A = this chain, B = another copy of it.
Amino acid sequence: MQKKVIPELNPNVSVDCVIFGFDLDKLTVLLIDRGQQTQGGPRLALPGNLIYNDENLDQAANRILNELAGINNIYLEQVGAFGDPNRICKEADKEWLQSIRAEPEARVITVAYYSLVKMADYAPRASSFAKTAGWAPVTQIFELAFDHYEILQVAKDKLRQKIKIQPIGFNLLPEKFTLSQLHKLYESILEKPLDKRNFRRKVQKLGIVTPLKEKQQGVPHKPSRLYKFNEEKYEALSKNGYDNFDF
């Protein structure tokens, strides 16, 4: 006695995505603008929506990113599940749900994901209920819809943990980059200054970057050497992690 399963939205489970980018100077995150609510309240939100009953969570995240920001098929890592019964408490959020959901009062648990992408590859386009989508520097975000601000903080923590175990940057930087840019990337994720010389030494010893013969052009100061990632070394370290610190 099987029920026939018709693909349908699950009213109780959503997915939200924290997509990090890097503008060569600071860490940014992709947000959608849901427009002004009559109640006021935050306009900006993480891209996210309810899942369908026939898709798994990763698939849902990728579908939603596509629908809301035109981003396709990227690798996502889970941040965690957020299920406070009061996570939908702001009036502006309730008003907004009235306009987009069939069951706006339903209890919703959300599963958050994060990812790192090259900003240049994903000029986000508005669509669906996102009036616009765009990149905002993480340091300039102070409130978001629902519990999205909290989710962002947890995602930043996860990223900060990850950076200690795996190399980061391949998915955030253009193909050719300078060590200063990589340095700034690490500083903006870790939110603290790192010694320039020690940073360079470490990166080079790890062997994840290869110097090119080219140099930066059009900068009003000494041009920097360009590097690319050494994919084999980078991959190896991504898989195995920095295996330091085995207790």
Contact = CB atoms under 8 A, between A and B. Distances in A.
Nearest to A78: B80
A13 B53 CA distance: 12
Nearest to A164: B245
B247 A245 contact: no
A83 B247 contact: no
Interface string A184-210: 001000101010000100100000000
Contacts of A51: 83
Given A55-B85, A85-B55, A245 B244 contact: yes
A57 B83 contact: yes
Contacts of A3: 105
Contacts of A11: 12
A85 B54 contact: yes
Contacts of A247: 163-164, 186, 190, 194, 199, 202
A109 B57 contact: yes
- Copies of this chain: 2
Given A190-B247, A202-B247, A81 B12 contact: no
A230 interface: no
A121 interface: no
A171 B51 CA distance: 37
Interface string A40-64: 0000000000010111110000000
Contacts of A85: 53-56
Contacts of A149: none
B107 A10 contact: yes
Interface in A64-122: 78, 80-81, 83-85, 105, 107, 109, 111
Given A10-B12, A81-B81, A109 B109 contact: yes
Nearest to A109: B13
A42 to B, nearest CB: 22
Contact of A80 (B2, B80, B84, B199): B80
Interface of A: 2-3, 10-13, 51, 53-57, 78, 80-81, 83-85, 105, 107, 109, 111, 161, 163-165, 186, 190, 192, 194, 199, 202, 242, 244-247
